[in-house]
Amino acid sequence: MSEGSPVRGPLPVATPPIPDGLDATLVLLRHGESELIREGRFQGQAETPLSTLGRRQAALAAERLAAPDAPPPLPVPHGHPLEIVHSPLARTAQTAAAVGAAIDAADGEPAGAVEVRPEPGILEIGQGEWEGRKHDEIMQRWSGEIAAWRRRPAEAWAPGGESLAQVQARVAPALRTVLERLGDGRPPGSLDRSQVGGYQGVGAGLGQPWSILVGHDGVFKIVLLTLFGLPLDRFWMFTFALCGISVVEIRAGRAVLRAHNLTEHLAPLLDEAAMATAEQRGRSGAL
């Protein structure tokens, strides 16, 4: 593991890469379960396809994003997204493809109507020598390094992997590009309107643009820290479930967290698991 120099005083905070006055919405969707996750292995930038469960999770998330007005509605603008931007890795590409196909079908559009494109800037954090290895092996071989990563993530990282500062250096310009595309040709918004939920006029307005990012737990932590101008040592403050949905509204250039880690759309999988458990108990005679 590599470690930075001891930090003295507050950690530097990057300026959020949000265009001045932008009114837009950004949806973050983590990919579904992968084969490496199913096997209990660290992923990082290692290639791995979605598992059978992961493909079902992606299909349910796609169905939810294709019908955002279904109750309870998602806090996104009306109309289809401008684009779906995904990490180039297979697990995110597969999830993004499912979402794009579902939105096109719901809108009655031909396949490919909503642009789906890869963005290397939101690739998962490189985990170096930990990639593909199980947790127990990492704990045995790099116990000190992984303990430091969990306690001081801005100063310590996997051997041969990326530091959080390196990841943010590629995330910030990628976000800037996505947000500039959302604001292209549109007038700036204003903060001189109600900012408190429950009042008329709060939230995304009619015709406001939105896009979807399909990525990973680690890089999405950096995305939120970057959008909200928080220091990298807050890395562990956010979590992202598999195929969880988060919504960030940009109000006149200021990021607002409208929803985080929504997973209600995955309820059918929990119902099936409960039914399978009940059936197994019935066959075994267990109470």
pLDDT of residue 276: 54
pLDDT tens for residues 136-190?
A: 999 999 999 999 999 999 999 999 999 999 999 999 999 999 999 999 999 998 8
* Paired tokens of 4: 């930075």
Q: Mind listing the pLDDT tens digit for each residue in 188-217? A: 988 887 778 777 666 666 678 999 999 999
Calpha distance 272→286 (Å, rounded): 19
Distances from the Cα of 177 to the Cαs of 79, 129, 169, 210, 286, in angstroms?
Answer: 21, 31, 13, 13, 57
pTM for this prediction: 0.90
Asked, for residue 199, whether it belongs to a domain, the answer is no
Q: Is residue 33, in this structure, part of any structural domain at all?
A: yes
What's the rounded Cα separation, in Å, for the pair 160 and 246? 30
141 occurs within a structural domain: no
Domain count for the chain: 1
Measured in degrees and rounded to the nearest 5, phi and psi for residue 243 equal 60, 25
Q: What is the predicted pLDDT for the residue at 13?
A: 77
Phi-psi region of 20 (alpha: psi -120 to 50; beta: other; left: phi over 0): beta
Give the pLDDT of residue 1: 45
Residue 83: inside a domain: yes
DSSP letters, 115-168, are EEEE-GGGPPPP-GGGTT-BHHHHHHHSHHHHHHHHH-TTTEE-TTS--HHHHH
Q: Residue 63 belongs to a domain with what CATH number?
A: 3.40.50.1240
250 lies in some domain: yes
Please list the ranges in the chain whose pLDDT falls under 70: 1-12, 200-206, 271-287
Determine the pLDDT at residue 201. 66
Give pLDDT, residue 191.
86
Residues of the domain holding 65: 12-125+163-192+204-284
CB 208 within 8 A of CB 252: no
How far is CA 169 from its chain centroid?
Answer: 18
Residues, the chain, total?
287
Helix count and strand count (H, E) for the chain = 8, 8
Residue 64 domain-assigned (yes or no): yes
